[in-house]
Amino acid sequence: MAAILRKGDAGRKGDAGRDAAAARARRYRQGLAPVLALLAAEAGSTPEGIAASLTRRGVRKPRGGRVWTPPDVRRLLSRLAAETGS
């Protein structure tokens, strides 16, 4: 027999999907962190240099895009810093 969920019992509709997407994004950022550190060392630590290197190396963006922009890199670095507490 199916349980009847009442409002407030199990969170809002869609929470599980959002949580799963957030976890995938976090794993993606953490997996890319060593590559970013390497690129920052060789291409300079500017978002422009890192974006150009990521594009040149063919590193795909989280949603599959191929061209990195400086704002993409700034967002990525900002979120990584917030997650690591640096």
pLDDT score of 1: 45
pLDDT tens digits in sequence order for the chain, 86 residues long: 455 555 555 668 889 999 999 999 999 999 999 999 898 887 678 999 999 999 999 999 988 999 999 999 999 999 999 988 76
Alpha helices in 1-86 (DSSP H): 15-43, 47-56, 70-84
pLDDT score of 9: 54
Task: For residue 72, give every residue at least 6 positions away whose Cβ sits within 8 Å of its Cβ, in sequence order, or none.
Answer: 51, 61
| Its pTM surpasses 0.75 | no
